Structure 1
């Protein structure tokens, strides 16, 4: 968890400066090596250091891969990459249960997890750089090389870099005299600050609820291997979320509300000694909903913040997510091994509060990514219910 926190601190800034592709390539190589080292040199201090370094690489991989997948996807299909990547994550979670059951030692488990990463390393070379980052950095030679690969690539790039980029393109060709504005100026803008606060809160409560259920999966009275497998299986239906054409904000609100309600019902039934399978099913339903809210919030964060500070803001939001993970790892279990009352209240109330905060965010489904703060201000304004008008009509 400390490694994930450190990755959140540096991942966005490094990828903004050097590009997402080189950061991703370096991190996947280091991540694969870190999987082999504990199996070869099982020393406690070295193991802790390697796990911390693994967390740093894992966080940078998540930041870069989600951003690249979204930026290379047309606006109409932009919800599919954040849905497909967590689906693959759930497949890995399910595969972890039989691998752990079949591995008699930790060394064999580490080898079985690390070898597929080493085999897949050559595949990552084909990953392209972000076209918007290349345009911002005036790397037109790379963009032209991508366009010359095939007519389909040229058509895709023309669709991604549409006419809404004309102002940014002109600015990248003719930079103004003097020093460029600091990123701090953009981060102080009220619109960016409000969105940053809401998304940071949503990330923190998402981490509390998601990892709270994951780390206590053995507290529901069900076998730990079966619980781990069904924990991963419960996340698979997230792949169907893009089929629900409701927009970013309604889906986020629905997922957060259902997650909080399911966790509250799980807490309520556990207090009355109901069947462990029913209690665990409700908790896993809450985990499924909070995962849906999580991957939508990842996409939402990319669409809410301007390109000039997008990676910086996404990194800060991810930092709050990792702080929630750290806080969750410090929550002690009850003497009987069950989840404490205070923890379950936090898991259920946090998402419900976040549901109402989503009312302050605009709908970003189907529109181009904002490149400047002015583009953020031109996004559709959220329409809050006019309580006074409703009261007067009564």
Structure 2
């Protein structure tokens, strides 16, 4: 097949779909199976952000002061009782640390991990450590479960991550000590990362190209619902153990309801498991009510149409394969930089509720969570109309602009500063949603979960670093917003080097993915490609 012909097959929507796209259309395209599949995955996705920001409430620090038998305390500069000192005995000029513990103001909450394990004063840093441990688990899960999914399959890892999340979250809710709580939170984070990666990958690999942007955008929209769910659950459940347990209950339900889901047929074909692919396709055709496809599909047809030469790729691909290809290494580096910067700025805006003093924290959580929804709903339409690259770069530039624009606003105009911060968070959320769509479309099937996992790991590293940078706010108040905004602006330049994937089928081999990168770079250099491989759509 010539180069021109290969490109025409991919670029002309009117031509009959070939390869796996043709098989998906033959078994119903977008039908009942895909809708039920998305619905099950959405239940688990709806509480991902709930866990990411859970410690806004389970680790909140209420007003407190030392427990003192004389009910007399030294006061600070604002005339309030000192939080970490009390008078020694009956003296009024000698102080000591809170040797008998603390008294907490529990008018708005019943209990948090701070009040249960006294994570205040000298132990205050442990409160932030718990959040960092969770995010460290997210990093670990991204790389571990991404690589395992390319070896063992998306379905098996997705089911395991559902079970791990449900079990370890229950362990965190029942933890008798802070150390056990942190271990459970870390493993919960790793399971959460794996189920997002594999849930997203499993759904998109069963979705036709014409619906992929909409489905990806909808799943990203559902991910944002977790912030609203958190505000609702936290308002009704003011004991941290009850809140922790309720946030993990949906994953046990999803685990019980997901056993019947078939493996990704794209992964099965790349791994040359034709009998499994045939069973999966027949199940989907039955659910989609396309009985003719069940009669037409056969093992011989799959084996003959998708020969070893056409499949390409090798079983047992690992993360090292991404570094053996110059094109994939460059794309991976660009995506990592984009994901890191967007997450870096996003978490700085989402985790620091205390930068809005005097505001109801439940209301602030609802506002910050709600702003993501319309922005993420716009991403699929813009990505299909303007293209992935233009949508992604625009969201990043606008988000950074609003973030930097809030710097000169005086503190007296608190609502204006809050409005600019909320808009910035919305654009950062949209850029993350669009980036997830791009990542799912640029890597070949044999390395897709590995590439998504590695990118997601570096992306969440931004979430780990954001709270650390915010610690500099009291001393250098301008440093954090300037650093967050300029990082996003610099990373937006990397979008230029990514291939445009609007309307194209998913690449299944390394050669197909490399061909798209060659074509993108050739256009940047305004010269024809030399020796470029034809972009075929087999499998």
TM over 0.5: yes
Q: Which residue of 1 aligns with 2:432?
A: 294
The separation in 2 between residues aligned to 1:117 and 1:141, in whole angstroms, is 30
The structure 1 segments of at least 4 consecutive aligned residues displaced by more than 6 Å after TM superposition are: 153-157, 165-168, 172-176, 178-183
CA RMSD of aligned residues (A): 2.9
Describe the shift of the 1:91–1:283 C-alpha distance in structure 2 as closer, same or farther (beyond 3 A): same
TM-superposed deviation, 1:335: 6.5
Aligned equivalent of 1:325, options 463, 466, 488:
463
Structure 1 residues 356 and 381: CA distance shift in structure 2, 3 A: same
Matched, 1:32 2:169: no
- The equivalent position to 1:247 in structure 2, one of 375, 383, 387, is 387
1:291-324 superposed Cα distances (whole Å, 9 cap, x missing partner): 1111211121121122232222221111211221
- Matching residue of 2:446: 308
From the superposition, tell whether residues 84 and 378 of structure 1 become closer, same or farther in structure 2 (CA, over 3 Å).
Answer: same
| Alignment deviations for residues 93-123 of structure 1 (CA, whole Å, 9 cap, x no partner) | 1121132122231122123223333334322
Equivalent pair of 2:270/2:311 in contact (CA under 8 Å): no
Matched, 1:103 2:241: no
Which residue of the other structure, out of 362, 381, 391, is the alignment partner of 2:520? 381
Q: CA deviation at 1:166?
A: 9.9
Any stretches of 5+ residues in structure 2 without a counterpart? 1-134, 295-301, 527-539
State which of 365, 374, 392 in structure 2 corresponds to 1:228: 365
2:414 counterpart of 1:276: yes
- Partner of residue 487 from structure 2, selected from 331, 341, 350: 350
Partners of 1:168 and 1:267 in 2: how far apart?
60
| Farther off after superposition, 2-11 or 106-115 | 106-115
Structure 1 equivalent of residue 340 of structure 2 = 204
Quickly say closer, same or farther: Cα 1:174–1:82, change in 2 above 3 A: closer
C-alpha displacement of 1:34? 2.0
Partner of 2:224: 90
Show the counterpart of 2:88.
Answer: none
Whole-angstrom distance in 2 between the partners of 1:114 and 1:291: 23
Match of 1:265 among 392, 396, 405: 405
Cα 1:349–1:96 shift into 2, 3 Å: same
Structure 1: runs of 5+ lacking an equivalent: 158-164, 387-394
**Partners of 2:293 and 2:351 in 1: CA distance:** 42
8 A contact 1:370–1:376 mirrored in 2: yes
Q: Is this contact kept in 1: 2:379–2:433, CA < 8 A?
A: no
Q: Within 2, Cα distance between the matches of 1:288 and 1:88?
A: 14
* Separation in 2, partners of 1:298, 1:319: 13
Q: CA 1:377–1:262 in 2, change beyond 3 Å: closer, same or farther?
A: same
Note the C-alpha offset of 1:28. Answer: 0.6
Kindly indicate whether the alpha-carbon contact (under 8 Å) linking 1:21 and 1:130 is maintained by their aligned counterparts in 2.
Answer: yes
Deviation at 1:156, TM superposition (A): 9.7
- TM-score, normalization: structure 2? 0.64
Flag the structure with larger Rg: 2
